[in-house]
Structure 1
Amino acid sequence: MAGRKRRTLTAPARIVLCLLLAGISGYFLYHCALDVLTTFQLKEQIAQNKSQISELEDEQTALQEQKEKLQDPEYLKYMVRGKYLVTKDGEQVFKLPTTQDDS
């Protein structure tokens, strides 16, 4: 095996091989960058969705409390009389002006 000659690439073949490897490396780096960008976008969307879920849960709790209150006949009378100015027979309602604090 001592007489075996080692084969070497010519200069144009080396250039082509280097360009090919550089192109493949660039392709993989581009797709890695896209994956990183997608990951950041998904994390941002997850954070927004968690915030929205929290707001909706708070709203659901408030609506559930309001539903329970509206099932109470005394509270319902209070609301109808106060908010909508419903009166009993013979009652008079006087609406007084309210003062608003503009500070």
Structure 2
Amino acid sequence: MARSHNKKKRRRLSPMLKLAMVLCAALMIFSGFSELKTMYDLHRSISDTQQKQSALKAEKKELTKKKKDLSDPDYIEYIARGKYLVTKEGEQVFKFSNDDTNN
């Protein structure tokens, strides 16, 4: 009978130990949320960087094409004649308006 009496008697946790356990649990939860926020920020940063990288690749492709075009003498002549109205000796330039009000 003494044995069953000892089995029922449980040792109670001291209030300091309970407080320490609650503080440890709170610290672990706070740490977990902090890690989740850091991971979210990193994923967002990676996504932003990938978008910037895509935009820069497109810009590089466009600039490479422009560089290639600018090394072509016919293209340079086309731009000079069209945009800057450069003429050959003896040529006359006629400029027409793009107004479609006469229709």
Whether the TM-score (by the shorter chain) exceeds 0.5 is: yes
Q: Which residue is equivalent to 1:50?
A: 50
Q: 2:61 corresponds to which letter in structure 1?
A: T
Give the corresponding residue for 2:33.
33
Q: Which runs of 5+ in 1 are unaligned?
A: none
2:83 is matched with 83
Residue 99 (structure 1) shift:
4.3
- Distance across 1 between alignment mates of 2:73 and 2:48: 40
1:95, distance to aligned residue in structure 2 (A): 2.0
After superposition, the Cα gap between the structure-2 partners of 1:76 and 1:17, relative to the gap in structure 1 and judged at 3 Å, is same
Structure 1 residue 7 displacement after superposition: 8.9
* Distance apart, 1:98 and its partner CA: 1.8
Q: CA deviation at 1:53?
A: 0.3
Unpaired segments ≥5 residues, structure 2 = none
How much identity, in percent, do the aligned residues show? 32
Equivalent position SS for 2:23: helix
Number of equivalenced pairs: 94
1:1-103 alignment, distance < 5 Å:
8-9=11-12, 14-99=14-99
TM-score by length of 1: 0.80
Which consecutive segments of 4 or more residues in structure 1 shift more than 2 A? 5-9
Query: RMSD of the TM alignment (CA)?
Result: 2.1
Please give the alpha-carbon distance, in whole angstroms, between the structure 2 residues aligned to 1:99 and 1:45: 49
Superposition TM-score, scaled by structure 2 size: 0.80
The Cα of 1:94 is off from its aligned counterpart by 2.0
